[in-house]
Structure 1
Amino acid sequence: MSSTTSYLEAAKHWQLLDSWLHQHRPFWIAQPFTSQPDWTLHYPEMAAWLENLGTADCENFEQHPDQLCQPLQAWLPALADRSHLLELPLVGGKDCSLPEKYAKAMPGRKRLQAGALVGALLPLPSPIFDWCSGSGHLARTLAAQTQHPVLGLEKDIQLVNKGNQLAEAAGDAVRIQQQDVLAFKEAWPQEPHGVALHACGDLHRQLIKKAIQHRLPRLSFSPCCYHLIAADSWQPLSQQAKNSLLQGLDKSLLRLAVQETVTAPERVARQRDQLKTWRLGFDALQRQLFQQDQYLPLPSVSPRWLQGSFADFCRWAAEHKGLQLPPQIDFSEWEERGEKRLIQVQRHELLRHLFRRPLEIWLVLDYVLALEEAGYQVKLGHFCKRELTPRNLLIDAWLPEMKMARSQEQA
């Protein structure tokens, strides 16, 4: 697909993904953490092959899912189409990150992500507003590449105050105002270019809807967290996607699109796996004790729980769920079962994770189609490598009359 997509190109790409994801639906709707996937019964040899993977192979395939497709094609030949379905161009390439001495308040990755996004949007000939600006990291990066002021819109007043203080101290032409973008009651911003970096769920969906409603000349955004929506299930924005074979995807399935993590420190990854082990160990215990073969969900817990013991965790979980544990339990046995179960879950999830990126691109192409149906020209691509952030997709859309006006100005 070219860097600027036509409606027919985007529609064809979306349709191919829609059909491909529907064809493989049994392999990604199952959630191995909560139950044994049905596909393991229908494809026992594939399940055995995955379960016998060593730790190094499992970690490699988790970080490089493309490499897993070839061996699994023996059972699922259509996986050969995956790489073609994921093809998108790299847009930009210029690093516009603020120098570290001017970005002391910015986390390192956020500084680089903002710089990569801005580099993909050049030139910036118009005033800009930063949608969900937080403390203005993106707004300040944008301001360094344009002659026009940048307006930030942010709901949290503490972030508003912090952002304005940072901008004033650096002498940046940035002003952040308090605004809940999901509840616009005041006038729509006069700035003709809206930009957002990692706006979650309804926040980026609202930007699309409002941009179309107000005929915003240009909007550029990187979406994130597609499951953070008020609706119970996925709601298409484009007319094309209303014919989807995947209607009714709930939030737990939408969450799959953002489960990839390539930036977690090793310590955090170990803590995450330890808590998963304990959850699975307690789950096996409660299934045995109370004779019910159903996963019992628990709320999120802090890594501080790891300072205690598995027994402490089980007693807390049982109390939280109103369950009475017998006085004599060999907790070491159930912790060991949790460890074995996690190994199995991680290998089953390798297959499911092959569908994370296809699902994300399928979701984003719905946005592209909605904008093109509204008269926008759209460029879709990735603005940085996944090692910097897995959420690296960028939609850059503009009305044709804006492009014409820019051409006349340059002439």
Structure 2
Amino acid sequence: MNTSRDKEQFSQINRLLEQSRPLWQVRAFETNLLPWQADFPCLAQRLWDISDDDIDCLDAEQARLVKALLPALTQDLHQRGLDWDLSLLTEAPAISDAALVQTPEMQFEDSAHFSAHIKGRKWAQITAFVQHLPEYDLPVLEWCAGKGHLGRLIAKTRGVDVVSLEWQAKLCEEGQTFAQQWQLSQRFICADAFAIGTDSGLTAAGLTESGLNDGQESPNRANENPLTRQQQAVALHACGDLHVRLLKLATEAGTRALAISPCCYHLIQASHYQPLSKLAQQSTLKLSRHDLQLPLQQSVIANAKQQALRHQEIAWRLGFDALQRQRRQIDEYLPLPSLKQSQLSGSFADFCLWAAQQKSVLIPQHCDFAAWLELGRQRQRLTRRIDLVAHLFRSLLERWLILDRCCFLQEHGYRVSVGEFCANSVTPRNALILALKSDD
């Protein structure tokens, strides 16, 4: 990656995100109108011209979404005398010097048996990740390993030693059993990723190592960084602070190579995002956990039934929200706990009674639930359109987050490349950051 080009690219993206904050930094459930409609009347009219039946199709394809809304947004900006670089929405910046190198498809004896207990989509992600993993003949550390499926495939196909770090002891035990069955050079460390490198000592579950011979001492202490210089660290969909923790520990250790696919940026301990790179730290963007969910709001996996249930749930939640505002005489959104899918097979009245009990809201005996449900459906038409505009910027925000990670690695002496390791239809979280420590 070209460092100066990446910095300029980050600055361009950051400028547009700062300018467009009123359009994407919104909470659709908390408003009863398009919050920006006075400043963007053409965009507002364009949204209401879109039929309800077309919204999901537009939302699933970023290129179609941009094509549908960009002319109206451009017209509003022209009328207000504003100059935003909207080309960033239509042309994804080239954040890699070259496409990621893909090794030939992996074939080995008994591969079907090897992957029999792994769900098809997950196995497709794992194999695609390994196919794009550079071969450096280095031992591998698998971060947030779960049962170690990724590390096991690397050990099998690359013939390198793999250490898989996971905090749940049961998963470590199951993963170690799999590795022993296949006679692979893979061992597990059961550790809390957030306790490593601190003085916090043992976690509640303790820090142990699976697969040791009787009497063999674990080489890792509770707070010892398992990352070393001569190592390749890999992480497939480590969530939020977990992959950030890996980046920080790896740069401290000077780990030779990294391969990371970020996921769930909103799963952070702080209330707001803590930028990694010096460049991102200069930005005026203050990203809440809610904002950080924006890149994840694209579903290419949900089937028609799942989408219908999701729409039903949102309409019900918004219907109850209108009811609770009236009953409590407080005009603010009241969050509800997660629902079991079975609850959606009942009636809206049953749902309201459950929600009222959860939040201590008094429901009158003769409540017109049908009227409140209709109000919920009308509010859903609004929130879907608010979200549709915010989704114009979801890819842009994810590129901002990825570039922050890339710039951070470059500041620590790494050469970085970024690409997609699998098709969007396999998983929308398909970005792969590859980093190689420059020679000292």
Using the size of structure 2 for normalisation, the TM-score is 0.85
Q: Distance in 2 between matches of 1:266 and 1:135?
A: 31
Structure with more helix by fraction: 1
Matched, 1:308 2:346: yes
Matched, 1:375 2:382: no
Q: Distance in 2 between matches of 1:61 and 1:97?
A: 38
Matching residue of 2:143: 131
Matched, 1:149 2:146: no
| Equivalent in 130, 146, 164 of residue 118 of structure 1 | 130
Matching residue of 1:68: 65
Structure 2 gap segments, 5+ residues each: 75-83, 197-222
Q: Distance in 2 between matches of 1:13 and 1:331?
A: 51
Q: CA deviation at 1:302?
A: 1.3
Q: Distance in 2 between matches of 1:131 and 1:353?
A: 30
Contact 1:97 1:115 in 2 (8 A): no
Q: CA deviation at 1:187?
A: 4.6
Contact 2:327 2:362 in 1 (8 A): no
Matched, 1:392 2:399: no
Matching residue of 1:40: 37
Contact 1:17 1:85 in 2 (8 A): no
Contact 2:34 2:382 in 1 (8 A): no
Matched, 1:83 2:79: no
Q: For 1:44, give the aligned amino acid.
A: P
Q: Distance in 2 between matches of 1:28 and 1:343?
A: 17
The structure-2 alpha-carbon separation of the partners of 1:131 and 1:377, relative to structure 1 and needing over 3 Å to count, comes to: same
The structure-2 alpha-carbon separation of the partners of 1:101 and 1:55, relative to structure 1 and needing over 3 Å to count, comes to: farther
User: For 2:71, what is the secondary structure of its paired residue?
Assistant: coil
Q: Distance in 1 between matches of 2:303 and 2:136?
A: 35
Q: CA deviation at 1:87?
A: 4.0
Matching residue of 1:22: 18
Q: For 2:100, give the aligned amino acid.
A: V
Matching residue of 2:207: none
Q: Which moved more, 1:387-396 or 1:41-50?
A: 41-50
Q: Distance in 2 between matches of 1:124 and 1:388?
A: 27
Q: CA deviation at 1:31?
A: 1.9
Matching residue of 1:284: 322
Q: CA deviation at 1:284?
A: 1.5
Q: Distance in 1 between matches of 2:387 and 2:272?
A: 22
User: For 2:439, what is the secondary structure of its paired residue?
Assistant: helix
Higher relative contact order (CA 8 A, sep 6+): 1
Give 1:2-401 correspondences, 5 Å limit. Answer: 5-35=1-31, 36-77=33-74, 78=84, 79-88=86-95, 90-94=99-103, 95-96=105-106, 99-184=111-196, 185-190=223-228, 192-246=231-285, 248-401=286-439
Q: Distance in 1 between matches of 2:134 and 2:405?
A: 22
User: For 1:299, what is the secondary structure of its paired residue?
Assistant: coil
Contact 2:225 2:249 in 1 (8 A): no
Q: CA deviation at 1:269?
A: 2.4
Q: For 1:91, give the aligned amino acid.
A: L
Q: Which moved more, 1:173-182 or 1:354-363?
A: 173-182
User: For 2:30, what is the secondary structure of its paired residue?
Assistant: coil
Q: Distance in 1 between matches of 2:391 and 2:69?
A: 13
Contact 2:227 2:249 in 1 (8 A): no
The structure-2 alpha-carbon separation of the partners of 1:223 and 1:96, relative to structure 1 and needing over 3 Å to count, comes to: farther
Number of aligned pairs?
Answer: 397
Q: Which moved more, 1:90-99 or 1:8-17?
A: 90-99
Q: Distance in 1 between matches of 2:183 and 2:370?
A: 59
Q: Distance in 1 between matches of 2:107 and 2:431?
A: 18
User: For 1:144, what is the secondary structure of its paired residue?
Assistant: helix
Q: Deviations over 1:86-120 (max 9, x none)?
A: 44454234444883331011111111111111111
Q: For 2:154, give the aligned amino acid.
A: L
Structure 1 gap segments, 5+ residues each: 403-411
Contact 1:97 1:112 in 2 (8 A): no
Contact 2:155 2:186 in 1 (8 A): yes
State the Cα RMSD in Å: 1.9
- Residue identity (%): 36
User: For 2:27, what is the secondary structure of its paired residue?
Assistant: coil
Q: Distance in 2 between matches of 1:154 and 1:187?
A: 14
Contact 1:129 1:152 in 2 (8 A): yes
Contact 2:154 2:160 in 1 (8 A): no
Q: Distance in 2 between matches of 1:164 and 1:112?
A: 22
